[in-house]
């Protein structure tokens, strides 16, 4: 992207921030409309579609049977990958996975994994021989800002609806995948000198550093990621942390309502 | 083709496993303008298949060696999402999707007025979210709608549809089981107003008479699907009512 556009946009965003306003008229911590649908893909064992403002993301869960790691003979595995394909935005180019798409997948993966929502021992079929490998694939179809939160939401919602396809693999009866927690991510962007929640496309283009925080059901932090150039103070972080708790509560209720 | 001609796919009353007659299509829905980041977009469901297509451009063609001084090039990608089939697909390079991308680009270049945009490229991104036989037809048909939604000038619409042969009977629009155990598959891309053919593939075994009947089924189905394409495009300017 040519530098001059973000420069002009930056000036505009700074003026808006001084007037306590945002480019799309939202409040500092106001979320865009979010719509979550589950069980939208027949060939995935669990699936979800998130429409988050103009951002659209699908997540699908697949299972495979694999041999466990020698040092953990009774544990299955969980893997979460995100793809930023060129379908999602003009700015994404075809080719091998970019650093951005790898970061996205790994940050979402950590939040889900570290929340302990899946007990890896429950994925064991025959100790030392057969365990389930659970794979969450996240597909970004339209990027209009804040794909991180949309991907994390789609990922956990898809996981909550997943049915273990034991019959197809001839290892017992199909059953719902036990998922005990709902980790939720909240992302903030420094725009015009202050942090705002749920940045839109223009705020990402003309903004500075970003912070992603994933919170578990009990309010504990499960993953953090600071991205891009820039620094922030501990008091700024405290404010983000407090707000993330409120955002997570609302979104967790949305997931609970949809999957039950 | 799987070539297992002895699996019973047509009942004695002439109906197929899902209850369709020989010349009947699976249910189809088409919507436009579904991806806000794209200039033009289309979502198509065809039986259990789901395809979503985004169109970007025309824009300057990069790298420069792909530029053509007298026309635009179409940069088409057909991709199946990892969760689109019963066995997960590993993301990344794949011979099948490369070939389908290539023939799709060539079909679309035949209908887009590429000479209006020299040195530029038009990006067409076809994502298959759920695959249940017939995804290339679904992708091409949806891509033509997405191009029109993006306001790209075109000579005609393009409809892709397949006929094939199961249990020695020519049928339209093979589903998953029919594709696996069928004897032939003939996907074509038809320009519905001129009835010209812009895309053609075939595998399996068809007699000249069977080929004629398969083409007849395809032609009739193309006119039906064309109506759905046009009503989806018009509904965008009519409050979304089809």
Pick from B35, B87, B91: which is nearest to A56 by CB? B35
Backbone phi, psi, residue A78, to 5°: -130, 135
For the cut 60, the answer to whether the pLDDT of residue A2 exceeds it is no
Higher pLDDT, residue A234 or A3: A234
Helix (H) or strand (E) segment spanning residue B37: none
pLDDT digits (tens, 9 = 90+) for A154-210: 999 999 999 999 999 999 999 999 999 999 999 999 999 999 999 999 999 988 899
Q: Residue range B105-116: average pLDDT?
A: 96
Q: Is B8 part of a structural domain of the chain? A: no
Strands laid side by side in the B28-32 sheet? B28-32, B40-46, B49-60, B120-130, B73-80
Q: What is the pLDDT of residue B240?
A: 57
Taking CA atoms, what residue in A is nearest to B47?
Answer: A42
- pLDDT > 90? residue B74: yes
Task: Provide CATH code, domain A34-259.
Answer: 3.30.230.70
Give the closest-approach CA distance of B222 to chain A in angstroms. 26
How many pairs of residues across A and B have Cβ atoms under 8 Å apart? 96
Which of the four pLDDT bands, split at 50, 70 and 90, describes residue B3? low
- The count of structural domains within chain B is 1
Say yes or no for a CB contact (<8 Å) between B35 and A61.
no
Residue B242 domain-assigned? Answer: no
How many CA atoms within 13 Å lie on the side-chain side of A75?
Answer: 9
Those residues of chain B whose CB sits closer than 8 Å to some CB in chain A are 34-38, 48, 50, 52, 54, 56, 59, 77, 79, 81-88, 91-92, 123, 125, 127, 129-132
The secondary structure of residue B89, as a DSSP letter, is P
Q: Read off the pLDDT band of A7 (50, 70, 90).
A: confident
**Which residues of chain B lie closer than 8 angstroms to A44, CB-CB?**
83-84, 130
Residue B13 lies in a domain: no
Given this model, what pLDDT does residue A231 score? Answer: 86
Q: Which CATH number is B182's domain given?
A: 3.30.230.70
Mutate to test the interface with B, among A54, A64, A138, A141 (most CBs of B within 10 A): A141
Q: Which residues of B touch A105 (CB under 8 A)?
A: none
Where exactly are the structural domains of chain A?
34-259
Q: What percent of chain A has pLDDT over 90?
A: 83
pLDDT tens profile A215-260:
999 989 998 999 888 888 899 899 999 999 999 999 999 999 999 8
Q: Please check the confidence at residue B101 and state whether its pLDDT lies above 70.
A: yes
Name which of B81, B94, B123, B134 to mutate to probe chain A: the one with the most chain A Cβ atoms within 10 A of its Cβ: B81
Alpha-carbon distance of A60 to A48, in angstroms, equals 7
Mean pLDDT of A74-80: 96
H helix or E strand, kind and range, residue B150: none
pLDDT at B224 over 90: yes
The residues that bridge with A213 in the sheet, in sequence order, are A186, A224
Instruction: Single out the residue of A203, A85, A67, A181 nearest to residue B82, CA to CA.
Output: A85
Contact A154, A49 (CB under 8 A): yes
In this prediction, residue A229 carries a pLDDT of 84
Among B201, B209, B169, residue whose Cα is nearest residue B185: B201
Burial category of B130 from C-beta neighbours within 10 Å (exposed 0-12, middle 13-18, buried 19 and up): buried
Whole domain around residue B201: which residue ranges? Answer: 28-237
Grade residue A36 by pLDDT with cuts at 50, 70 and 90.
very high
Confidence of residue B5 (pLDDT cuts 50, 70, 90): low
Probe site for chain B from A2, A43, A46, A80 (most B CB atoms < 10 A): A43
Q: Is the dihedral of CA A42, A260, A247, A226 positive or negative?
A: negative
Share of chain B above pLDDT 70, in %: 96
Q: How far apart are CA A141 and CA A158, in angstroms?
A: 16
pLDDT at A211: 95
Flag if B83 and A60 touch (Cβ within 8 Å): yes
Confidence of residue A3 (pLDDT cuts 50, 70, 90): low
Give residue B1's pLDDT: 54
For the ranges A54-68, B9-23, B71-85, B218-232, which has the lowest average pLDDT?
A: B9-23
Q: What is the pLDDT of residues A128-145, one digit of tens each?
A: 999 999 999 999 999 999
């Amino acid at each position: 992207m040519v530098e001059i556009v973000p420069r002009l946009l930056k000036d505009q965003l700074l003026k808006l921030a001084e007037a306590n306003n945002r480019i799309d008229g939202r409040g500092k911590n106001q979320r865009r409309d979010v719509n979550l649908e589950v069980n939208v893909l027949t060939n995935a064992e669990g699936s979800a579609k998130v429409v988050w403002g103009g951002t659209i993301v699908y997540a699908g869960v697949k299972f495979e049977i694999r041999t466990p790691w020698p040092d953990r003979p009774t544990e299955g595995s969980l893997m979460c990958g995100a793809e930023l394909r060129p379908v999602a935005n003009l700015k994404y180019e075809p080719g091998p996975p970019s650093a951005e798409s790898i970061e996205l997948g790994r940050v979402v993966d950590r939040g889900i994994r570290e929340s302990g929502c899946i007990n890896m021992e429950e994925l064991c079929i025959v100790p030392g021989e057969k365990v389930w490998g659970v794979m969450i694939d996240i597909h970004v179809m339209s990027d209009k800002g804040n794909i991180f939160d949309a991907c994390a939401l789609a990922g956990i919602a898809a996981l909550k609806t997943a049915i273990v396809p034991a019959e197809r693999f001839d290892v017992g009866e199909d059953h719902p995948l036990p998922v005990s927690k709902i980790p939720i991510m909240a992302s903030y962007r420094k725009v015009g000198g202050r942090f705002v929640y749920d940045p839109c496309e223009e705020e990402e283009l003309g903004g500075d550093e970003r912070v992603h925080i994933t919170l578990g059901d009990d309010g504990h932090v499960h993953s953090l990621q600071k991205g891009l150039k820039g620094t922030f103070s501990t008091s700024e972080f405290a404010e983000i942390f407090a707000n993330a708790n409120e955002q997570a509560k609302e979104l967790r209720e949305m997931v609970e309502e949809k999957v039950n | 083709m799987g070539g297992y001609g002895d699996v019973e796919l047509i009942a004695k009353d002439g109906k197929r496993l899902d209850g369709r007659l020989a010349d009947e299509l699976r249910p189809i829905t088409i919507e436009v303008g579904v991806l806000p980041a794209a200039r033009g977009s289309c979502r198509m469901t065809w039986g259990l298949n789901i395809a979503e297509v985004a169109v970007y451009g025309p824009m300057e063609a990069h790298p420069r060696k792909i530029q053509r001084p007298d026309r635009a090039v179409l940069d088409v990608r057909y991709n199946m999402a990892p969760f689109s089939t019963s066995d997960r697909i590993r993301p990344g390079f794949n011979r099948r999707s490369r070939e389908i991308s290539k023939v799709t680009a060539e079909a679309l270049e035949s209908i887009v007025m590429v000479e209006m945009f020299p040195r530029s490229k038009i990006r067409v991104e076809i994502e298959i979210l759920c695959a249940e036989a017939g995804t290339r037809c679904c992708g091409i048909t949806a891509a033509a709608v997405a191009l029109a939604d993006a306001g790209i000038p075109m000579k005609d619409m393009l409809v892709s549809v397949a006929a094939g042969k199961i249990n020695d009977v020519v049928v339209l629009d093979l589903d998953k089981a029919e594709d696996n155990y069928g004897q032939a598959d003939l996907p074509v891309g038809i320009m519905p107003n001129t009835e010209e053919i812009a895309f053609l593939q075939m595998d399996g075994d068809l007699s000249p008479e069977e080929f004629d009947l398969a083409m007849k089924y395809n032609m009739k189905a193309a006119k039906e699907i064309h109506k759905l394409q046009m009503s989806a495009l018009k509904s965008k300017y009519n409050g979304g009512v089809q």
